[in-house]
């Protein structure tokens, strides 16, 4: 599916201010994941057979005995765009974190190619599923170092390719010391759009097949979104994308929409089908139209 201009302002044209791929969050997943793996087992011995992400009877409790997800089943088709909608507090972000392996579920499983995410070595996990939020951070260091957060062994050539893929190579080369220019606090100041492109280039380097986009606290600037559309497009193409929409007015360009309510998926299907069904999504959709 193309994320093209003719779609108007569809869900995925919104720029999620892509951040540093939740490096910290994934580390947490590793720590937690290791804690859950029985000591007589080695995590990461099984290799996923494909890119198919499956959610089976997933439950999650932040506090013992207080489930906020009550048995989620979800089959993601490889390459599909799924929008997750529903009232605030329904569990959308929590589900997103499960899908990205940030938190292991307290019940059920999330697997990729039949292997539970929690059993994947962290480097492997990061190359398969990434959680992307709208925050973007430029760290103190060179531009090259900022990019290598995603792949420490990436050659200069690969860094250039990644920048080129998101249409950022021109300005990057024009920096006083090119990719070796110091950026971040005290360094060369990148514009917000440039910082976003750096975050996108990191995603290109990481090359996960599945992206979970959470626009929870996004402060969207539609003009910036349009400007960066091509960059975002380059990153999303060919990947499975789950977009968690907290205050989206347009979900109809996704292949499917899942409605999460009180920790359960209550409806799932293409936009048109759900509208025709006249259920919760139809009501949500109608109320969005009136806003
Ligand atoms: P949504 O993304 O749909 O707004 P969330 O997944 O953020 O919903 O939240 C689902 C439920 O989990 C809510 O009741 C929320 O209060 C609770 N919750 C979310 N994050 C935490 C947390 N870090 N600790 C405890 N409870 C949380």
Q: What is the pLDDT of residue 195?
A: 85
List the structure tokens of 31.
Answer: 């720590």
Ligand 1 pocket, residue 259 CB under 6 Å:
no
Residue 89 CB–ligand 1 contact under 6 Å: yes
| Tokens found for residue 53 | 């992400």
- Percent of the chain exceeding pLDDT 70 equals 76
CA atoms in the 13 A half-sphere facing the CB of 290: 6
Q: What is the pLDDT of residue 135?
A: 63
Beta-strand pair 129-133/182-183: unpaired
How many other C-beta atoms lie within 10 A of the C-beta of residue 58? 23
Q: How far apart are CA 51 and CA 73, in angstroms?
A: 17
Q: Which residue CA neighbors atom 13 of ligand 1 most closely?
A: 89
What per-residue confidence (pLDDT) applies to 166? 86
| pLDDT at 151 > cutoff 90 | no
Question: Which pTM value belongs to this model?
Answer: 0.78
153, 44 Cβ separation under 8 angstroms: no
Query: For 32-57, how does the pLDDT look when each residue is reduced to its tens digit (9 = 90+)?
Result: 333 333 334 345 577 898 999 999 99
**pLDDT mean over 186-205:** 87
Question: Strand order in 81-85's β-sheet?
Answer: 129-133, 210-214, 240-244, 81-85, 256-261, 264-269
For ligand 1, atom 15, name the residue with the nearest CA.
89
Residue of 58, 61, 89 to test ligand 1 pocket, by largest number of atoms within 8 Å of CB:
89
């Amino acid at each position: 599916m193309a994320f093209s201009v003719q779609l108007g302002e569809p869900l995925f044209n919104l720029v999620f201010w892509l951040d540093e791929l939740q490096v910290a969050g994934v580390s947490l997943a590793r720590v937690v994941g290791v804690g859950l793996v029985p000591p007589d087992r080695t995590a990461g011995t099984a290799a996923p057979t494909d890119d198919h992400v499956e959610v089976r009877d997933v439950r999650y409790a932040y506090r013992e005995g207080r489930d906020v997800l009550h048995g989620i089943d979800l089959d993601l088709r490889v390459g599909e765009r799924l929008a997750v909608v529903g009232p605030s507090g329904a569990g959308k972000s929590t589900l997103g974190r499960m899908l990205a392996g940030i938190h292991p579920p307290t019940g059920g499983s999330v697997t990729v190619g039949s292997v539970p995410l929690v059993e994947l070595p962290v480097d492997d996990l990061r190359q398969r599923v990434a959680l992307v939020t709208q925050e973007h951070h430029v760290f103190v260091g060179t531009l090259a170092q900022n990019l290598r957060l995603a792949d420490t062994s990436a050659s200069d050539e690969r860094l250039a390719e990644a920048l080129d893929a998101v249409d950022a190579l021109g300005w990057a080369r024009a920096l006083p010391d090119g990719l070796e220019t110091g950026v971040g606090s005290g360094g060369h100041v990148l514009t917000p759009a440039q910082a976003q492109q750096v975050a996108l280039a990191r995603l290109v380097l990481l090359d996960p097949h599945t992206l979970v986009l959470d626009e929870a606290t996004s402060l969207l600037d539609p003009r910036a979104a349009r400007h960066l559309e091509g960059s975002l497009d380059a990153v999303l193409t060919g990947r499975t994308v789950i977009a968690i929409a907290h205050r989206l007015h347009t979900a109809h360009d996704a292949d499917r929409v899942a409605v999460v309510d009180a920790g359960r998926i209550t409806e799932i299907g293409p936009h048109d089908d759900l509208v025709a069904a006249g259920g919760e999504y139809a009501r949500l959709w109608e109320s969005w139209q009136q806003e």
